[in-house]
Amino acid sequence: MHRLLSKDFLSGVMFIAFGLTALWFGRNLAPGTTVRMGPGYVPHMLAYIMLVLGAIISVVALYSGGEMVERPKWRPITLVTIGIVAFALLFERTGMLPALIALILIASLGGEEFKITEVIANMVVLTILCIIVFKLGLGMNISVIEGVW
């Protein structure tokens, strides 16, 4: 029973579940062949890869034992999720900069150590990188601050 509750075994089972779910939702997509790929080729191949990786991880965990599952830490999970939802809700209304600031601030509150200087540094660096990549590099038509730029 100890081995069935190890982190590795349960993560392998999760991979298998995701692979089976992907196959279920992609069952109506024609996979085609390697030379003439259909719309379901890549989803099917990724699902098969997840199934194989899940099986390998689970079997290795059964033979090696592994660490027991510890209780989940709900604060980080909850605050990161709230941060992502806040980003999604703010992005079109306020622009990328305020949405990123809200995401980084809320997600940072979920950590063990919260240092405002590090959070502000993260905000500055990530905002600059996002502007360079999405606005300048990819030329996406997104506003940095709604109505300004």
How far apart CA 111 and CA 122 sit, in angstroms, is 14
pLDDT in tens, 96-129: 999 999 999 999 998 888 899 999 999 999 999 9
Q: Which residue range is the domain that position 21 belongs to?
A: 3-64
Q: In this structure, what is the dihedral angle of CA atoms 70, 76, 81, 84, given to the nearest 10 degrees?
A: -140
pLDDT confidence of residue 30: 86
pLDDT confidence of residue 125: 95
State whether 57 and 81 are in the same domain: no
How far apart CA 50 and CA 124 sit, in angstroms, is 36
How far apart CA 71 and CA 89 sit, in angstroms, is 30
pLDDT confidence of residue 116: 92
Structural domain contains residue 56 = yes
Structural domain contains residue 149 = no
pLDDT in tens, 56-70: 999 988 888 666 656
Tokens of 126: 């990530």
State whether 60 and 78 are in the same domain: no
Which domain-ending residue is among 17, 46, 64?
64
Per-residue pLDDT at 20 exceeds 90: yes
Please state which of the ranges 40-44, 68-72, 145-149 shows the lowest mean pLDDT: 68-72
Q: Global pTM?
A: 0.58
State whether 43 and 98 are in the same domain: no
How far apart CA 103 and CA 85 sit, in angstroms, is 8
SS3 of residue 65 by DSSP: coil
State whether 102 and 133 are in the same domain: yes
pLDDT confidence of residue 61: 86
State whether 84 and 127 are in the same domain: yes
Structural domain contains residue 88 = yes
pLDDT confidence of residue 68: 63
Structural domain contains residue 42 = yes
Structural domain contains residue 10 = yes
Structural domain contains residue 103 = yes
State whether 86 and 44 are in the same domain: no
What number of residues does the chain have?
149
pLDDT confidence of residue 148: 73
pLDDT confidence of residue 99: 94
**Overall domain count for the chain:** 2
Structural domain contains residue 81 = yes
